[in-house]
Structure 1
Amino acid sequence: MLPWTKKQLRSRHLTLKTKCILYKTLLRPVLLYGSESWALTKGHENKLRVFERKILRKIYGPKNEEGNWQIRYNDELYHLYNEPDVIKVLKTGRLRWLGHLYRASEAHPSKKVTFTNIEGTRKRGRPPIRWLDSVDSTLSSHLSFQILFYTVEQDLKALGVQGWKRKAVNRDQWKHCWGSQGLQ
């Protein structure tokens, strides 16, 4: 974290609302730059959540109960902040990027790289997480999707949406699909 931000987040001259705006407009975009293309493990997600809670603890500070200072619990922090956590924002961007990729032309390099099955064998051991695998976990946990053979085929059963590809072509319909899940 930058030294000036640490000082600003602890400042008594700024309101809590201003500090939250500083976090949402300055720190979080830097933290999540390019996150649409990240393939995160649970460990990475945990580190991002820990960082966000560290910032929120600096913003809201400890609480004073009957003369005893206590660090705020995680639920308290998120209740006070009342915004989606960093992972939800990241997953929203990932779904937005998936729709963008699907709408791109077949000749677009990013679409080729994402949806092409590479021939050959992998090294021994656990395979690295691919971006499509991470999108699969996002979609299955939020939208009841599954990625099979590098394409998303299963319908949005939980939302009653038929044919995600048709929805992805229309930006407004695609945004409504994942926006109705509280991922905006």
Structure 2
Amino acid sequence: MGGHSRPLRCGSERKKQNASYIINFITKATKILLVQTLVFPIFLYAAETWTLREVEKTKIDALETWCWRRTLGVSWNEFRTNISIIRELDIKQRLSTLVHSRILKFFRHVSRRHSNSIERLVQGKLEGTRARGRSPMRWTDQIKSSVGGPLHECTTICKQKWRMIVRRVTTATNNVPP
């Protein structure tokens, strides 16, 4: 039994060395592009319909920093802060703010449509009685809180002004260090 473990161990060590050579051979800019084009789009699928609370924002930020740490090969034992890694990679926009801006852009897209059942369903204007207890945070509630006004005023805003609002809200919530 002991005779078979040595060649397997040497083969697996050789594979690790080859993989680390390939990982070290790719430039940092290429690694960033690979993560942004292969990993993040899968995560962001249907993100426009999510309801984000602070707990979800911290989880999204944790996933993003985990991806960047894995990309750079930084271990948790190296005691590097997430801010230092983001500064090293020169990340301009965090993943949680990208999700937030997609939510706001999707709201603008839905609110421009003519009055029909889909728009009423998205905005929560359904017939019936409300359930008992405290109501959970809805998709429209996060838009109201981020824009700072009622939804019917948001639907009448022109496109350029809406883009300015989205830019202002996302730069205010973007927690990338300067």
Q: TM-score, normalised by structure 2?
A: 0.71
More strand by share: 1
- Between the aligned partners of 1:173 and 1:19, the Cα distance in structure 2 is 36
Superposed, 1:57-72 pairs within 5 Å as: 57-62=69-74, 70-72=78-80
Which residue is 1:41 aligned to?
53
- Offset at 1:181? 5.3
- Between the aligned partners of 2:87 and 2:125, the Cα distance in structure 1 is 43
- Between the aligned partners of 1:84 and 1:93, the Cα distance in structure 2 is 13
- Between the aligned partners of 1:112 and 1:181, the Cα distance in structure 2 is 25
- Between the aligned partners of 1:123 and 1:93, the Cα distance in structure 2 is 29
Instruction: Specify which of 134, 137, 153 is matched with residue 142 of structure 2.
Output: 134
Q: TM-score, normalised by structure 1?
A: 0.69
The structure whose Rg is larger is 2
The structure-2 alpha-carbon separation of the partners of 1:124 and 1:177, relative to structure 1 and needing over 3 Å to count, comes to closer
Superposed, 1:71-110 pairs within 5 Å as: 71-81=79-89, 82-107=91-116, 109-110=117-118
Whether 2:174 is the aligned partner of 1:178: answer: no
- Offset at 1:47? 1.4
Runs of at least 4 residues off by over 4 Å: 180-184
Give the conservation status (yes or no) of the 8 Å contact 1:91–1:138.
no
More helix by share: 2
What SS is found at the alignment partner of 1:11?
A: helix
The structure-2 alpha-carbon separation of the partners of 1:59 and 1:41, relative to structure 1 and needing over 3 Å to count, comes to same
Give the conservation status (yes or no) of the 8 Å contact 1:57–1:72.
no
- Between the aligned partners of 1:181 and 1:146, the Cα distance in structure 2 is 13
The structure-2 alpha-carbon separation of the partners of 1:80 and 1:110, relative to structure 1 and needing over 3 Å to count, comes to farther
- Consecutive unaligned residues of structure 1, counting only runs of 5 or more, are 1-6, 64-68, 140-144, 154-163
Give the conservation status (yes or no) of the 8 Å contact 1:35–1:94.
yes
Number of equivalences = 151
When the two chains are superposed, the root-mean-square deviation of aligned CA atoms in Å is: 2.7
Which residue is 2:11 aligned to?
none
What SS is found at the alignment partner of 1:122?
A: coil
Give the conservation status (yes or no) of the 8 Å contact 2:101–2:170.
no
- Consecutive unaligned residues of structure 2, counting only runs of 5 or more, are 1-18
- Offset at 1:94? 0.9
Which residue is 1:32 aligned to?
44
Q: Percent identity?
A: 23
